Structure 1
């Protein structure tokens, strides 16, 4: 089976009217639920992929998709011997600075967020995306590729927040911080979903395609969660 036969574009799921109003973005979707539609079974001749797992959330929180644990130094990364193309590498190279900014946004929540559920979600974003960053970098190292994408302006990536907006968020607290945090993180997550769908259309590597699916699903769930927190 060709890799293109396994690609499934992931939407953000049942995103509320608030989330759509905040971002002004419509997501490509192949289903009406929060998760990816099942892909056709892989050919028996293909190597068995390492699958993501569903981890139950804390009480009152949604489950999240957890990427396979990054390999230890010197070990072969998942999908290391599978074919890959430039779209695979570019997706991971773009997602590294994208995730780094998400960590910066999440790091502002302690001491500023008034809603404990939002503070808990920010902590979850930090934990999850830090793990994913390790996976992205591990794959690039395994393929002897650097993290830089020459000539590409990362500030133009979907969902990236300007320096000015980051400074404005840092100056807020209480309810004002919570609303702005949800606005910015929703926009940021929507950008990650856009890039994940681009990878699913153009990528080839089994692990990268699974990673793009996991990222899109997980961040779509978190968009819904943030909207529900603000609506109350």
Structure 2
């Protein structure tokens, strides 16, 4: 009986040992399997990222370059132009100031100042109410423009114009003798001389603004020049109507 009982106990112990060994083996096998699954999943994610990156680069490299023409509006009095994409890229005004921009702003301040000197004579010398109103409008438009352009020069650390220098070679500028004759005139004589001088003065300003649009590069200066052309072209038309009345 004892031998049979001992044999049964050994059999039970051996069975439990085998079960424990098999359990540890299965756990190790399961762990290796899970590790393998994680590794495979990681490789799949990495390959997916590489694939998407390569696709994105291919899309960027294969993105079509626009070859459609660009319509550029013309300046006052000019027709619109059709430009190629390359021409359009170089036609955009630059924020960089060049010598033509500086010259235009400095000269236009002086030019506007003389127009204000002429307009200031109208209230006491002119006989036409329309001419007095025109002179007032010239003052109201050009005096603020002088302030804006002067502030721009200061902001860009550029010198203000020398008002005492000789500016007789500037387009449309009245000579000292012409200014003296205007101050001495009155009534209808003043009206006629004022219109004659101011038309020439405005035409000179348009010439200066056109040069700035051609040679300048700064976007702000280009806008000012465009405004001058539009404003003074309209005023010339009104003054010619007054001359013909």
Aligned 1:98-137 pairs, distance under 5 A? 98-137=111-150
Please state if 1:85 is matched with 2:70.
no
- Residue 157 of structure 1 corresponds to which residue in structure 2? 170
Please state if 1:141 is matched with 2:154.
yes
Instruction: Give the RMSD, CA atoms, in angstroms.
Output: 2.7
Residue deviations 1:150-202 (CA, integer Å, cap 9, x gap): xx842210011111111111111111111100000000010000000000000
Residue deviations 1:22-42 (CA, integer Å, cap 9, x gap): xxxxxxxx44xxxxx66889x
Give distance in 2, aligned partners of 1:172 and 1:40. 51
Shift of 1:84: 1.8
Gapped regions of structure 1 (runs ≥ 5): 11-29, 32-36, 47-78
CA contact (8 A) 1:84 1:204 kept: yes
Give distance in 2, aligned partners of 1:7 and 1:195. 20
- Secondary structure of 1:216's aligned partner: helix
* Rg comparison, structure with higher value: 2
Q: Which protein has the bigger helix share?
A: 2
Please state if 1:203 is matched with 2:212.
no
- Give the paired residue count: 167
Closer/same/farther in 2, CA of residues 6 and 144 from structure 1, 3 Å limit: farther
The structure 1 segments of at least 4 consecutive aligned residues displaced by more than 6 Å after TM superposition are 38-41
- Secondary structure of 1:136's aligned partner: helix
Normalised TM-score (structure 1): 0.65
Give distance in 1, aligned partners of 2:81 and 2:156. 26
Normalised TM-score (structure 2): 0.62
Residue deviations 1:46-74 (CA, integer Å, cap 9, x gap): 9xxxxxxxxxxxxxxxxxxxxxxxxxxxx
